[in-house]
């Protein structure tokens, strides 16, 4: 059985990853401001990891990922 990710077109993969990455930036900024971090290396690491993780999860799970984010947020 093919996974949903294998049936996606290239532009849809880019869109899913990009939207997930934007969520990752938002989450990373929330973490940075909540803990008042000032170490540039730590801030960079948090942002990069959050972008990658959210982007990959959005790409792999698509609408399921966004439903979980919505349920978590509200």
What confidence tens digit (pLDDT) does each residue in 46-60 have? 999 999 999 999 999
The rounded distance, in Å, linking the Cα atoms of 41 and 27 is 17
Report residue 70's pLDDT band, with 50, 70 and 90 as the boundaries.
Answer: very high
Residue 5 has pLDDT above 70, yes or no: no
- Nearest residue to 21 (alpha-carbon basis) of 61, 53, 44, 45: 53
- Tokens read off for 38: 């000032």
Torsion of CA 24, 27, 29, 34, to 10 degrees: -160
Span of 3-17, 18-32, 58-72 with lowest mean pLDDT? 3-17
């Amino acid at each position: 059985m093919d996974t949903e990710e294998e049936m996606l077109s290239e532009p849809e993969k880019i869109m899913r990853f990009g939207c997930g990455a934007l969520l990752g930036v938002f989450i990373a900024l929330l973490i940075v401001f909540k803990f008042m971090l000032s170490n540039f290396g730590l801030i960079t690491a948090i942002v990069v990891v959050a972008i990658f993780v959210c982007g990959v999860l959005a790409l792999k799970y698509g609408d399921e990922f966004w439903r979980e984010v919505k349920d978590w947020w509200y």
